[in-house]
Amino acid sequence: MSSQAPPATAATTATALVVDRLHVTYKVRATDRLAVRDVSFSIGREQTFGLVGESGCGKSTTALAITRYLPSNGRISGGSISVNGQDLASMGPDALRRLRARTISMVYQEPARALNPSIRVGRQVAEVYELAGLKKAEALERAEEMLRVVQIPRSSSSTSRRQPSTPPSKPKYSTCSHRCARGSTRQSCSSATTSA
């Protein structure tokens, strides 16, 4: 008896991302360590999705696997990931680069490290569209549209540059002297001690 796939429906063709039984392994001191085990979900087009869990449970590793940005000691050891029906594991470097430029990206948890505070957010978002080939005016328009979609008001997302009336104040906390992996501030570093 042969099995046939069910006919495509609006629901199946509108799926943007499918993660199926994903396993991610890191090589640590010559030993494979399973970091993500049997994760499955799908996200439809125009759907909002939140991946929630406690610290260290594998949220960032899952996102890095989806974008194929795992560090050199990490690998997808099981399962599959497809974007718009394309299997990411079968993509070569050029196809993957095009996919990252036009279809998927990762927004890191620390926007202060990803965004330049001296340039308006809208202008920085527009730069992505310019890199994808849009002209500056069209890129700015598209950036403002996207910021409206995520409910960031125009006054906060303006693409024009404005000089501050007073110089910005220095950060309240200095970078942690313990050289945390993410350059934590002294306030957020768990290994830092408070000085009076």
Identify the burial level of 134 via C-beta atoms within 10 angstroms of its C-beta, where 0-12 means exposed, 13-18 middle and 19 or more buried: middle
pLDDT of amino acid 112: 67
Least confident of 110-114, 159-163, 174-178: 174-178
Q: What residues contact residue 155 under an 8 Å CB cut-off, 6+ apart?
A: none
Domain map (residue ranges) of the chain: 14-92, 111-157
Quick count: other Cβ atoms within 10 Å of Cβ 22? Answer: 22
Q: What is the mean pLDDT of the segment spanning 11-19?
A: 77
Query: Is the pTM for the entire model greater than 0.75?
Result: no
Calculate what percentage of the chain has a pLDDT beyond 70: 69
Q: What is the mean pLDDT of the segment spanning 41-66?
A: 91
Q: CA 84, CA 44: separation in Å to the nearest integer?
A: 10
Q: CA 150, CA 90: separation in Å to the nearest integer?
A: 32
Question: 81 pLDDT band (50/70/90 cuts)?
Answer: very high
pLDDT of amino acid 159: 54
Q: CA 139, CA 123: separation in Å to the nearest integer?
A: 9
Question: 13 pLDDT band (50/70/90 cuts)?
Answer: low
Least confident of 18-27, 72-81, 144-153, 175-184: 175-184
Q: What is the mean pLDDT of the chain?
A: 76
Q: When comparing pLDDT for 107 and 53, which is higher?
A: 53
Quick count: other Cβ atoms within 10 Å of Cβ 20? Answer: 14
